[in-house]
Structure 1
Amino acid sequence: MDNPFNLNNLLRENIKKLVPYSSARDEFKGEASILIDANENPFGSPLNHDYNRYPDPLQHQVKAKLSNIKGVPAENIFLGNGSDEAIDILYRAFCTPGVDNVILVPPTYGMYEVSANINDVAFKKVNLTADYQLDLDGIANAIDAHTKLIFICSPNNPTGNSIRRQDIETVLNNFQGLVVVDEAYINFSAVKSFTQELAEYPNLVVLQTLSKAWGLAALRLGMAFASKEIIAVYNKIKPPYNINQATQDIVLEALNNVDQVNDWIKETVSEREKLVRELLELDYVQYITPSDANFILVKMEQPREVYDYLVQYGIIVRDRSKVELCEGCLRITVGTPAENRTLLEKLNQINK
């Protein structure tokens, strides 16, 4: 790769000098019969499970199981309190407030902008093209000496389409900062994950989640995949026990059920295609963006009125009609077959 990437040049000076907090579980590793080093309650918990001990700060068991499933070495995995923590740490590690900037490519996931604002980091918006692909010239022109991160969501939220792989590779090869590819919806796509490219691109960070296909949104477990050096930065900054023991235990159990998840994915994709076909038969539906996610972006006449109509029946979709480049659109998550049938019944009843 021609890109002269140097991680040390990107890090904030205070992070380079940071001495991370050293917890009791960091200082002692191994088995012991009497643990009186961490000021824990020695009697247990007022629950059926004992949660009186602090959890593994680096979640070794969970990472080992994820490593087998994802085909990524455990040393290249960071686990966060949702993908939001993984995003926030990137800002805190690499972006000096009031000095550095990042590039966003709207319409896209809103937390990139919120996290920038929280961290007092400027952001430049380079809108996607009319077909929701990267504006490579626009991105190139927006990059300056203080641009540290570029966020690319693929499959993209709220549009559902995948970003062309060769375009993402072009950005990776020509940008000396970090390229963050958010693959929250990758399980629903036939496109290959960028996790398989970590060795080729030292400036690549891939985000994934257990909130979507794995059905664990309530547990808040996000994943970042990157080089060992970037993962070391993550672990340096994160709170000492950022993933609680209950979450680790439940996730370990859930990860035994890959077949169940794969069945759900297949059914979701099948239902997505059925939903698209039937929605396109409605006179007021104008266009549906081809989707690689578990949702579809539907352009229609009077979207707000349709939204309000569905609310009357307890059916909640997402109104995206005020989002730039998504004018006139509702975002509809693919439900169960029964939920999708009810949705279509109500939409067919609208007096066009």
Structure 2
Amino acid sequence: MLLEMRGSALYSCDPPWLGHCGGITFRVDLSVATRRSDPPAVRREAALQAIAELPHPDVTIWSDGSARGGTEQGGAGAPIQFHHLNREETVRAPAGAVCSSLRAELTAMREAFAAVAGLEDGGLASTKSVRLLTDSRSGLQLLGRGPANQTMALAAEVWRLLITLAENGTETVLQWVPGHAGLDGNETADRLAGEATAGDQDSAPIDLSSARAAVTRHVRELSRQRATAAHPHPGPTPGHDSLARWGSVTLSQLRTGTSPLTRDTLHKYGLAADDECPACGEPDSAAHLLTDCPAYEAARRRRWGVDPRLVDVLGGPATKVVTFIEDVGRTEPPLDPPAPPPP
């Protein structure tokens, strides 16, 4: 028995990479590509060209978010131009005491779209096109995944507002523009977001991704502090580059704990029988020579005062270290005296 096989009609839809859904369009690039290293004037010109290519809207929104260190004290702001109503508004809102940069950006979009969706007295019905301009490419890429693929409650809220506008017959375009490129709207949004960081942060909820980012940053900072405490690394010594070769080499060796002017280095390489300081008999090292040896207290105090820290000595003027070494007579490796000749 032969069965007639008929092909099933395939479901037809726009592929996800087009980034739009029913009157909602996401544009994460400019028609003229730019790099972050390009001069602001170049990036500004490219952004203005991309904006000019868009249809003139009834509403223009510039949104921006701010979070201190990318993890706390979030703020969101947006100037809104209602061209068809001949008026302007500004919105600003705290985004949370624990807040990622992405959350702050999405908060700005939510507040701006809520202001448009909340228009009264026929204002919403007459709004047929909205243009949002933001420097958050990551925010647009997240939203561009579609309403069903949002894992952040805040992103889902933005989508609910976008769908509300779409059901009103409003076409919405979300366009990425480069930040810090001298765009007036972007700079105004940045200022509003900064002002919003001083608002009541307790009213803003904390989402899991922001909390995770804050914990990750805190752990990374703790690790850095522990590593620094275990292995101090002072900053460049002022005047190091102007020293003569001997002084420059000597200072570098003292900073790295490999100076042949201290007995611990000589002993480590088998060039001395012990690591005792030739001046006081205590274990010798760069720290002992520069900050601890009582035999050199007077010369040390003249340069760095009482009980200086090694990080301050090696991080201070280079000439002080070199002249100290010269004054205390430690310019040559303190080798063991030669063995007496055999009888």
TM range (shorter): under 0.3
Q: Normalising by the residue count of structure 2, what TM-score does the alignment of the two structures yield?
A: 0.26
Greater share of helix residues, 1 or 2? 2
User: Which one has the largest radius of gyration?
Assistant: 2
